[in-house]
Amino acid sequence: MGPILALSGGTLPFLLFDKDPDAPFYALALFSLLGAGMVAFIGYAILEIQRWQLTISPTLLSVRSVGRYRELPREAVAGFTVEARHTFIHPARAGLPRLKIHETTEHYAAIQRWLAPGIPT
């Protein structure tokens, strides 16, 4: 669905103004910028989904995405809270990332098992 939306966002301005050759140039430029913005946003979203990776090891939990890499050692976890659809993992000291894991994550049960022994909620 994403590539279809990106393609339509890039071509829609030209299809709209193909019918009316007397349309003002600034309107074509505005719609072209909006279309390019939509293509860039959807492209980034698709890339983010493909690149997001969660790694669980006995001593470390790391999350990698397009522009970020966050890791939290097991001994640096102060606690965690489970809310409606997310598990929030809180660091023990400032400067470490607070991780937010959605319940639809592939390894959600493994994360719960990783957190369960010895870490307060």
Tens-level pLDDT at each residue, the chain (121 residues)? 566 766 666 666 666 666 666 667 777 777 778 778 888 888 888 887 777 888 888 888 888 887 788 888 888 888 888 888 888 989 998 888 888 888 888 888 888 888 877 666 5
Domain ranges of the chain: 2-50, 53-115
The partner residues of 81 in beta bridges, in order of sequence, read: 88
Q: Give residue 58's pLDDT.
A: 87
Q: Give residue 120's pLDDT.
A: 65
Report field, pTM of the whole predicted structure over 0.75: no
Q: Please state, as a whole number, how many other Cβ atoms lie within 10 Å of the Cβ of residue 87.
A: 19
Q: Give residue 34's pLDDT.
A: 79
Q: Give residue 52's pLDDT.
A: 80
Q: Give residue 6's pLDDT.
A: 63
Q: Give residue 104's pLDDT.
A: 82
Q: Please state, as a whole number, how many other Cβ atoms lie within 10 Å of the Cβ of residue 30.
A: 12
Tell me the torsion sign for CA atoms 55, 72, 100, 51: negative
Amino acid at site 47 = L
